[in-house]
Structure 1
Amino acid sequence: MSWKGMEMELERDVWPYVLPFPVDVKKRRLVWKILQSKVGMGILARLNVEKPTYQKELIKRLPYSNKSIIEYLKLMVSAKIVEQGMEKAKIRERNVWVKWYKPTKLGRWLILFLKSPREISEETLKETVEELFQIYSANIVEFCQKYDLDIEYFHQVLDEKFLEEWKRETPEIKPEVAVFGSASLDLYGSIERLPKPDETAYIEISDVYPGGMGANVAVALSRLGVPVAFITKIGADHAGRLLLENFRRNKVNLSNLKIERGKTSLQTLILFDSEGKRRIMVLGRPNTAISITSPEEIDWKLLKYSKIVYIGETFVEVASTIADFAKNLGKIVIYRPGVPYLKLGIERIKEVIEHTEIFILNEIGWAELKKNSKEKISSIADLQRHGPQTIILTKGMLGCEIWDGEKHKIYPVPKKLIKKFKIVDATGAGDSFSAAFIKKLLEGGSFEEAVRFAQVAACITCSRFGASPAFPTLEEIVENLS
């Protein structure tokens, strides 16, 4: 039977602590005797976790005979639940010796079992949970070595449960935009030059930022005050934790985010050479969680709530189903697949773009689409014949061009924006542009208004390092719009 098959789903109201018991049989029997007794349980409930408890206080507070209380305190000492001691105290002008009891590690665990977490100080709770984790980690290592089990499984389970809990605590806001795409952890590094064949080069990783085209669009939209849901997959790993934390911080609806145990989250290496030129490499593995892989994984009600459905780097077979469903609901479908998908040629993406209202691509992607299509695609009109009547071609700091039906207009980036916002890192500029463009469309703005708004957002993003941390707020764009 597989480990996955052996897993048991526990109710959410089970006690939040795992309780270890002594290996020694005699001590274990003593513990059970104490736990089965009203006197023993009464004493445990009255013991202070953080400081000694005096015998006379227990006798005074508990509704049992002195003999019974003292008998069970002795049993607790024998079972190593408490340690005892004596100290001098001044009572009625007399110095007397008083007996005290203090919980051992086992005692603290038993007391925590009986108390609500709210009754325990944060410091004690943290210390006790850390002790428990240390013990169980050591036991799991021993268990894996003894029975030849993969310890990576336990790492993945811990990551998965942690991520699922974070996801569960994220508010499920009703979205105006549903975003499909990938999430990636961006590793920023520097290199003097690319190595020659068989040469070793040192890459220094200087910064790590949450990224991924679809994820960036979702975060940028939320930062502009747009309720947004992001539909994707991430791995149950360290990178997944960083990505999920970023979504939580930016209030993105994660109800349809899939966390996959046994898979790694996508990572991207962004290298800057000595001249400041940027090279981007996606680090994939056979088990990388890239995006949604089946229509069955989609919560379709999120699309019903939304006014706009944005499809980014999503597997073509799934993207075509999403676009078809959204179009039939009367939603605005925006498709921006990125260069790797455009390299597949028009034949592979035509079932997506035939349901697309707005198709966004950059100059590199446009060149790759023309080069890799078996069908002759030489003009935007050729592209429009496949469905999308509005096509936006972004050209970096040169601006963009928009074809809307037979209308064609060029929008250069205003010189004042170029002068004010010097390019530091262009990563995420297209994502920021797309999000701001969508924001303006939701407000009923024209294409021209949406482009001007989006250009400000992209310029601000380029003036800062990282993608997600660089996205502007609505106030920043409005301030620089004039």
Structure 2
Amino acid sequence: MSVVVFGSINMDLVARTPRLPAPGETLTGHSFETVPGGKGANQAVAVARLGVPTQMVGRVGQDAFGQELLKGLKASNVECDRVLIDPATHSGVAVIAVDDASENNIILVPGANGQVDERDVDRLKPVLPQAKVLMLQLEIPLPMVVAAAKAAKDAGVMVMLDPAPARSDLPNELYPLIDIMTPNQVETSQLVGFAVDDLQTAAKAAHVLHQRGIQTVITKLGKLGAFCITPEETFEIPIFPVQAIDTVAAGDAFNGGLAAALAAGLNWKEATRQASAVAAISVTRLGAQPSLPTREELEEFLKMRSEE
């Protein structure tokens, strides 16, 4: 079964600095590079590199960044026939600062992503019957996220929402349409209205989201691992200890690993463990899409960790 991603496609403009700047401060950085990104595109590449057929639906601008973004997606075997080249605007960009401690801050300029509308949902609908999972994020207009989730529900497709960037105003009608939500600590806190900083508060938050209609909640807790609550079971998955150098795409890597595992028929514990492994590999490499592992790299990583 395939995975369809409906979401953002950005060019990341990455500056590396000794530390993140304070308001009004100018810092001299180490380096600068342009890296294909966007939560939607990152997650599509993460799935495709794991060998699962993947379709991207979204928009880029009619500019040099747009052409480069499509080229990068296709190089990772992501099907892009339903990505619209929008002549009326520029491609989405993310301006990212990364410091020596691997922390980052991001300024997002939506561009073409902000123009996603009902016509894009119409382009999405014909590919849903062949899909196992529809992956959604919040870097496109929220009404289109809701419309895409409804279309997937009508087609009997599993809906996975990564509620990022963090926001607290998700409409009530969206929650029952979501089969799987994968928030991190900040996103979870925004959604439930209280701080989520350990396993106990993650469990409390997951139950709140479950009561709103979400079937499965997998909360990403950084160094504490992941907390998962499904209709049948509750469990924790610890992280794989690694030396992190760049955390930019860790969440997208996790989601891609999870969707690929579910499309392959793995159970929740196996799927969440695979997601954690994909994220662990990604943070040991620089960049967003360049950090995402292949199926062979994932299998080798898991084999080595099982032998330790």
What is the TM-score normalised by the length of structure 1? 0.57
Q: Deviations over 1:180-229 (max 9, x none)?
A: 11111112212345555555444454222111111011011111111111
Q: Is the 8 A contact 2:188 2:205 kept in 1?
A: no
* Secondary structure of 1:255's aligned partner: strand
* Partner in structure 2 of residue 105 of structure 1: none
Q: Deviations over 1:35-83 (max 9, x none)?
A: xxxxxxxxxxxxxxxxxxxxxxxxxxxxxxxxxxxxxxxxxxxxxxxxx
Rounded to whole Å, the distance in 1 between the matches of 2:206 and 2:22 is 39
Question: Does residue 393 of structure 1 match 2:219?
Answer: yes
* Match of residue 466, structure 1, among 287, 292, 299: 287
Aligned residue pairs total 291
Q: Deviations over 1:322-373 (max 9, x none)?
A: 1112112211111113034xx242xx3322221111111111101122339x
* Match of residue 297, structure 1, among 107, 110, 120: 120
* Match of residue 278, structure 1, among 103, 110, 117: 103
Unaligned runs of 5+ in 2: 195-203
- Aligned AA (1:358): I
Q: Deviations over 1:113-144 (max 9, x none)?
A: xxxxxxxxxxxxxxxxxxxxxxxxxxxxxxxx
Rounded to whole Å, the distance in 2 between the matches of 1:398 and 1:306 is 32
* Partner in structure 1 of residue 187 of structure 2: 365
Rounded to whole Å, the distance in 2 between the matches of 1:253 and 1:460 is 24
* Secondary structure of 1:339's aligned partner: coil
* Secondary structure of 2:182's aligned partner: strand
Rounded to whole Å, the distance in 1 between the matches of 2:301 and 2:102 is 27
Distance 1:379 1:337, change over 3 A: closer
Q: Is the 8 A contact 2:58 2:83 kept in 1?
A: yes
Identical amino acids, percent of aligned pairs? 29
Rounded to whole Å, the distance in 1 between the matches of 2:38 and 2:88 is 20
* Partner in structure 1 of residue 44 of structure 2: 218
Question: Does residue 307 of structure 1 match 2:116?
Answer: no
* Partner in structure 1 of residue 200 of structure 2: none
Aligned-residue offset at 1:244: 1.2
Rounded to whole Å, the distance in 2 between the matches of 1:465 and 1:324 is 36
* Secondary structure of 1:379's aligned partner: helix
Q: How does 1:376-391 map to 2 (within 5 A)?
A: 379-391=205-217
Rounded to whole Å, the distance in 1 between the matches of 2:23 and 2:98 is 19
Q: Which has the higher contact order (CA 8 A, sep 6+)?
A: 2
Distance 1:256 1:407, change over 3 A: same
* Partner in structure 2 of residue 229 of structure 1: 55
Unaligned runs of 5+ in 1: 1-174, 373-377
Question: Does residue 349 of structure 1 match 2:175?
Answer: no
Find the structure with the greater CA-based Rg.
1
Q: How does 1:77-476 map to 2 (within 5 A)?
A: 176-195=2-21, 198-203=24-29, 205-273=31-99, 275-284=100-109, 288-290=111-113, 293-298=116-121, 299=123, 300-313=125-138, 314-340=140-166, 343-345=167-169, 348-371=170-193, 379-405=205-231, 407-413=233-239, 417-418=240-241, 421-476=242-297
Q: Is the 8 A contact 1:187 1:205 kept in 2?
A: no
Give the root-mean-square deviation of aligned CA atoms: 2.1
Rounded to whole Å, the distance in 2 between the matches of 1:387 and 1:205 is 45
Rounded to whole Å, the distance in 1 between the matches of 2:276 and 2:297 is 13
